[in-house]
């Protein structure tokens, strides 16, 4: 589960969003006072939002919510927070943004899908990492938002550029996981920003 921002005609609000569901056990009977341990393994959705970010305003949360169907149970639900770290491609992209003079100021998750010419998201939500220049209007840019769509061997990046005089625009790039290089990413991003 994650918490997503929904934008509507009436304004913005937040709601919980299911990233994936697993049934970890068939029905069984449990006696009063009995304890039962059910081991399980699950693979998280590749687009699970990153929670471990050094942002001034990090609104990215992920958790597993479990529920039991027990008559008259005192607390049949449980919520366990997960700590999600970026993959190497995302980490390199974040390092490149730092080297180019941008600071991560905000992270949130929004309801919807990302679409670019060569990729599309599938989870029903996407995370935006909002960067601002450390100095006045670097490349004429006021703000940059990065969103990531990881796949098995590559990570796609959708970049929204908010420019002072040219308005908003979108560009994208793909980072192959076996060719992650911060210096090359700096060069690629710099070309895209100009």
Q: What are the structure tokens assigned to 17, written together?
A: 């969003």
Q: Is residue 22 part of a domain?
A: no
Q: What are the structure tokens assigned to 113, written together?
A: 């899908």
Number of domains within the chain: 1
Count of CB atoms situated within 10 Å of the CB of 106: 18
Across 105-125, average pLDDT: 97
pLDDT score, position 50: 98
The whole domain housing 152 covers 88-193
Each residue's pLDDT tens digit, 52-67: 999 989 999 999 988 7
Q: Is residue 61 part of a domain?
A: no
Residue 134, helix vs strand vs coil = coil
Q: Is residue 6 part of a domain?
A: no
| Secondary element (H or E) of residue 115 | none
Tell me which of 5-9, 114-118, 131-135, 162-166 is least confident. Answer: 162-166
Q: Is residue 21 part of a domain?
A: no
pLDDT score, position 54: 92
Q: Is residue 47 part of a domain?
A: no
Packing angle between helix 182-193 and helix 88-99, nearest 10 degrees?
60
pLDDT score, position 73: 66
Q: Is residue 17 part of a domain?
A: no
Q: Is residue 188 part of a domain?
A: yes
Q: Is residue 31 part of a domain?
A: no
Please give the share of the chain, as a percent, with pLDDT higher than 90.
71
Count of CB atoms situated within 10 Å of the CB of 172: 17
């Amino acid at each position: 589960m994650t918490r997503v921002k929904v934008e509507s005609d009436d304004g913005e609000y937040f709601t919980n969003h299911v990233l994936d569901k697993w049934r970890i056990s068939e029905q069984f009977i449990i006696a009063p006072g009995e304890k039962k341990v059910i081991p399980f393994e699950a693979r998280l959705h590749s687009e699970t939002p990153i929670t471990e970010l050094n942002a001034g305003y990090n609104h990215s949360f992920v958790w597993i919510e479990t529920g039991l169907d027990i008559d008259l149970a005192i607390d049949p639900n449980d919520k366990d927070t997960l700590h999600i770290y970026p993959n190497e491609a995302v980490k390199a992209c974040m390092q490149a943004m730092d080297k180019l003079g941008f600071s991560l100021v905000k992270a949130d998750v929004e309801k919807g899908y990302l679409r670019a010419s060569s990729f599309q998201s599938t989870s029903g939500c996407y995370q935006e990492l909002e960067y601002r220049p450390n100095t006045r209007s670097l490349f004429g840019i006021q703000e940059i938002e990065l969103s990531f769509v990881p796949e098995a061997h590559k990570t796609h990046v959708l970049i929204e550029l908010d420019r002072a005089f040219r308005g908003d625009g979108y560009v994208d790039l793909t980072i192959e996981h076996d060719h992650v290089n911060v210096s090359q990413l700096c060069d690629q991003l710099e070309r895209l920003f100009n």
